[in-house]
Structure 1
Amino acid sequence: MRKSLRVAGIATACAVAGAALYGTGAATADNATARHTAEPQNIGVLVGQIDDYYGAYQDADGVWRSSPDSPYAKDLARIQAKAKKDIRRAAARTGHHHGKKPAIVLDVDDTSLLSFDYEKTTNYTYNNTTWDAYVKAAKRPAVFGMPGLVTYAKSKGVEVFFLTGLSESQREGAVTNLAKAGYDTQLDTTHVFTKNKTAPPAYLSNCATPAKWECTTVQFKEGTRKHIESTGYDIVGSFGDQVSDLAGGYADKTYKLPNPTYFVE
């Protein structure tokens, strides 16, 4: 299963756009007469805005791509420039957190690997079967600039980990894709963490057992970051495209990458 509780981005964005205005117009217990309401944003208009943001185009094979000079790419570059400065400063500090080695943690979907083609071809509608096939095909491009950020971090002596809501059965596809997309770093089981619902690690025992997985996205990622730090690292930066990728602590700084196509609680 893709990141748990995934909600189609268009529907979510429309709901967010209209919720505040609509809510103030509804009749409530202390307001018997409904005030003026507002229509949510038109889905067709929103899709056009998303296309413009990504600089959407189809290549010769019909694959949807994002343009490297798009507003999306420019926003990424701004965030990455700030992150590199922070990484350089963190790596240069002497006696770093009582001798712990600095590290960064990256989400995979739409933080390391771009899923824009899947969103466009499915009209922003998620399906377990099609998503699983897409991940295992291992053809996603890198999110602009992120392989370079990883290379930069490693050049400063910073360890790199990936923490994804992808399932253990999707590990091979993810690892293969990360390598193909230019992530020149260790991609073994101690550096790439997936959701293993049938044999969850002991450090997630507060919300997962072999018989029952109850971890939310935040619990899973928070618990895994805590585990990484317990092995001798200080996470100086955590990167994700969802707030739920970053919540829960165990990172000195967090970096929210843009993603207007879906929302994960």
Structure 2
Amino acid sequence: MRKSLRAAAIAAACVVAGSALYGAGAATAGQSAANSTQEPYNIGLLVKDIDTYYGTALDGNGVYQASADSPYAQDLAGLDRQAKRYIDRAAHTARQQGDKPAVVFDVDDTLLLSLDYEKRYNYTFNATTWNDYVNRADRPAVFGSPELVRYAESQGVEVFYNSGLSESQRAAAVENLKKVGADVNLDAGHMFLKDKANPPAYLSACATPGTWTCTTVQYKSGTRKHIEQDLGYDIIANFGDQYSDLDGGYADRTYKLPNPTYFVG
């Protein structure tokens, strides 16, 4: 379930921004503490830290964008360099062992950046406004991620997508990924989305037609299990911006992309 900034993003954001989560209410020169409890980090300051991290600015079309020279972009560039080196080695090893190497990418804030939505709706989630936003199919790319998708393909690695987007949002997701240059394996056999009305048999432990009880970890790890055990691939790397994108196994290595704007448990 997606949470608002106020409910859950504080810890991740403070780590990223280099701020202390607790103790923000401690006395400083000329001030006195109102109480002796550990006051949480101030929400207004947290938002400023997030903007600084992304280098957030309005573009000419009035859309909030991240800056290409921001700490966020620098962190992504470092991750991409590491991932490319690893993919080279791991793909070669997998093929030597007779395995078919694959990589798995989450979509939201792993490939497509949702910063503009978060800013406009004050870091809160609403299913209707989110659906409208997704269906516009005009989100910018997460820096470097479409290039990483194409790089994996160029190394003979099969690319899959494992997203929390719904089946009804498939057309918009495909259109948006094409726009940003991640036009690799966007067919239904490689892009797995939530189909709560008709869930696949491999999720039968937590989902049946009309009944969906899967947690994010169950859904995503169950899909990776299907890719490995049913489709016969070795997932050498799994990329996501949430730990719930990565937990549950069925990947040789995981890469956590930065995202201090929301938390999916």
Q: 1:131 to 1:81 in 2, by over 3 A?
A: same
Q: Distance in 2 between matches of 1:63 and 1:20?
A: 33
The alignment-based identity, stated in percent, is 60
Given that residues 234 and 251 in structure 2 are in contact (C-alpha distance below 8 angstroms), is that contact kept between their aligned partners in structure 1? Answer: yes
1:9 to 5, 10, 27: 5
Deviation (angstroms), 1:71: 0.2
SS of the residue aligned with 2:224? helix
Aligned residues: 248
Q: 1:96 to 1:36 in 2, by over 3 A?
A: farther
**1:144 partner amino acid:** F
| Equivalent residue number for residue 89 of structure 2 | 89
| Equivalent residue number for residue 79 of structure 2 | 79
| Equivalent residue number for residue 168 of structure 2 | 169
Given that residues 22 and 40 in structure 2 are in contact (C-alpha distance below 8 angstroms), is that contact kept between their aligned partners in structure 1? Answer: no
Given that residues 22 and 41 in structure 2 are in contact (C-alpha distance below 8 angstroms), is that contact kept between their aligned partners in structure 1? Answer: no
Q: Is the aligned partner of 1:233 residue 2:233?
A: yes
**2:107 partner amino acid:** V
SS of the residue aligned with 1:93? helix
TM-score of the superposition, structure 1-length normalised? Answer: 0.89
Given that residues 94 and 234 in structure 2 are in contact (C-alpha distance below 8 angstroms), is that contact kept between their aligned partners in structure 1? Answer: no
Give 5+ residue unaligned stretches, structure 2: 15-19, 25-34
Q: Distance in 1 between matches of 2:22 and 2:207?
A: 36
SS of the residue aligned with 2:48? helix
Deviation (angstroms), 1:100: 2.1
**2:2 partner amino acid:** R
Q: 1:128 to 1:94 in 2, by over 3 A?
A: closer
| Equivalent residue number for residue 222 of structure 2 | 223
Q: 1:121 to 1:95 in 2, by over 3 A?
A: closer
**1:62 partner amino acid:** G
Deviation (angstroms), 1:61: 1.2
TM-score of the superposition, structure 2-length normalised? Answer: 0.89
SS of the residue aligned with 1:222? helix
Residue by residue over 1:148-195, the C-alpha shift from the partner in whole angstroms, topping out at 9 and shown as x without a partner, is 111111111001011100110011111110111111311000110000
Residue by residue over 1:30-89, the C-alpha shift from the partner in whole angstroms, topping out at 9 and shown as x without a partner, is xxxxx9312111111111100000000001111000001100000001111111111000
**1:82 partner amino acid:** Q
SS of the residue aligned with 1:183? coil
Deviation (angstroms), 1:91: 1.5
Q: Is the aligned partner of 1:182 residue 2:181?
A: yes
Deviation (angstroms), 1:147: 0.9
Q: Distance in 2 between matches of 1:256 and 1:220?
A: 18
SS of the residue aligned with 2:227? helix
Q: Distance in 2 between matches of 1:60 and 1:162?
A: 31
Given that residues 10 and 47 in structure 1 are in contact (C-alpha distance below 8 angstroms), is that contact kept between their aligned partners in structure 2? Answer: no
Given that residues 96 and 102 in structure 1 are in contact (C-alpha distance below 8 angstroms), is that contact kept between their aligned partners in structure 2? Answer: no
Q: Distance in 1 between matches of 2:94 and 2:161?
A: 26
Give 5+ residue unaligned stretches, structure 1: 23-34
Q: Is the aligned partner of 1:41 residue 2:37?
A: no
| Equivalent residue number for residue 17 of structure 2 | none
* Aligned pairs (5 A) from 1:113-152: 113-152=112-151
After the TM superposition, which segments of 4 or more aligned residues of structure 1 sit over 4 Å from their partners? 15-22, 94-97
Q: Distance in 1 between matches of 2:261 and 2:6?
A: 6
Given that residues 10 and 46 in structure 1 are in contact (C-alpha distance below 8 angstroms), is that contact kept between their aligned partners in structure 2? Answer: no
Given that residues 162 and 191 in structure 1 are in contact (C-alpha distance below 8 angstroms), is that contact kept between their aligned partners in structure 2? Answer: yes
